[in-house]
Chains A and B, each alone.
Chain A
Amino acid sequence: MAEDQFDLARLEPILKKYRGQEGALIPVLQEAQNLYGYLPEEVLVHLSRGLKIPLSRIYGVATFYTLFHLSPPGKYQLELCRSISCALCGSERIFRALEKELQIKRGETTADGLFTIQEVECLATCGMGPVMRLQDVIYENLTPAKARKIVEMLRKKG
Chain B
Amino acid sequence: MKRYLTRNFDHPDAKTIAGYEKTGGYLAARKALQMRREEILGVVKESNLHGRGGAGFPVALKWSFLPANGRPRVLVVNGDEGEPGTFKDRQLMEQDPHQLLEGILIAAYAIQAHKVYIYIRGELGAAARMMENAIEEARRKGYIGPSCFGVDHPPEVIVRRGAGAYICGEETALLESLEGRQGFPRIRPPFPALVGAFGQPTIIHNVETLCALGHILRMGGQAYAALGTEREGGTRIFGVSGHVEKPGLYELPIGFNFGKLIHEVAGGVRRGKKLKAVFPGGSSTPVLLPSELDCPLSIEGVKKAGSAIGSGAVIAMDQTTCMVQVAWRLAGFYQHESCGQCVPCRIGTKRLLEILTRITRGHGQEGDLGLLREMGQVLQDSSRCGLGQTCPNAALSTLSKFRGEYEAHIREKRCPASACEALSPRRGKSRSGRV
Contacts and interface: CB of A to CB of B under 8 A. Distances in A.
Interface residues of B, number: 55
Contacts of A126: 84-87, 239, 241, 247, 313, 315
B78 interface: no
Contacts of A90: 433
Contacts of B83: 122
Interface stretch (B12-20, B122-130, B347-355): B122-130
A121 B337 contact: yes
A22 interface: yes
Most buried by A among B83, B84, B89, B326: B84
B10 to A, nearest CB: 15
A30 B241 contact: no
Contact of B333 (A27, A79, A121, A138): A121
Contacts of B122: 30, 65, 67
Given A92-B433, A136-B126, A124 B163 contact: no
B435 A87 contact: yes
A154 interface: no
Contacts of A22: 179-180, 198
Contact of B163 (A30, A83, A133, A136): A30
A89 interface: yes
Contacts of B433: 90, 92-93
A65 B180 contact: no
A80 B90 CA distance: 18
Given A87-B434, A127-B247, A27 B160 contact: yes
B321 interface: yes
Contact of A65 (B165, B239, B434): B165
A123 B126 CA distance: 12
Interface residues of A, number: 41
A65 B163 contact: yes
B200 to A, nearest CB: 10
A142 interface: no
Interface string B241-260: 11100011100000000000
Interface string B299-340: 000000000000001010100010000100110110011010
Interface in B193-214: 198
Nearest to A60: B182
Contacts of A24: 180
Nearest to B178: A23
Contact of B180 (A23, A84, A122, A133): A23
A57 interface: yes
Interface string A55-80: 00100110011111000000000010
B105 to A, nearest CB: 22
Given A84-B283, A88-B315, A123 B123 contact: yes
Interface string A112-150: 000000001111111111000100101000000000000
Contacts of A27: 160-161
A29 interface: yes
A133 B125 CA distance: 11
Contacts of A29: 163
A124 B178 contact: no
A121 to B, nearest CB: 6
A57 B179 CA distance: 12
A24 B242 CA distance: 39
A89 B180 CA distance: 37
B25 interface: no
Contact of A121 (B166, B177, B247): B166
Interface string B84-128: 111101100000000000000000000000000000011111100
B241 A127 contact: yes
A30 B161 contact: yes
A61 B84 contact: no
A25 interface: yes
Given A67-B123, A68-B163, A87-B435, A127 B240 contact: yes
Interface in A1-53: 22-27, 29-30, 53
Given A125-B90, A126-B313, A127-B249, A66 B326 contact: no
B376 interface: no
Contacts of A67: 122-123, 162-164
Contacts of B221: none
Contacts of B81: 124
Interface string A83-107: 1110111101100000000000000
A138 B124 CA distance: 9
Given A65-B165, A66-B165, A87-B329, A92 B434 contact: yes
A84 B326 contact: yes
A115 B123 CA distance: 19
Interface in B222-254: 239-243, 247-249
Interface of A: 22-27, 29-30, 53, 57, 60-61, 64-68, 79, 82-85, 87-90, 92-93, 120-129, 133, 136, 138
5 contacts: A84-B330, A88-B321, A121-B166, A124-B89, A124-B121
The 3 closest A-B pairs by CB, nearest first: A25-B180, A65-B163, A66-B164
Given A25-B180, A64-B339, 13 more contacts: A29-B163, A64-B165, A65-B183, A67-B122, A68-B164, A83-B84, A84-B333, A92-B434, A124-B90, A124-B124, A126-B315, A136-B126, A138-B126
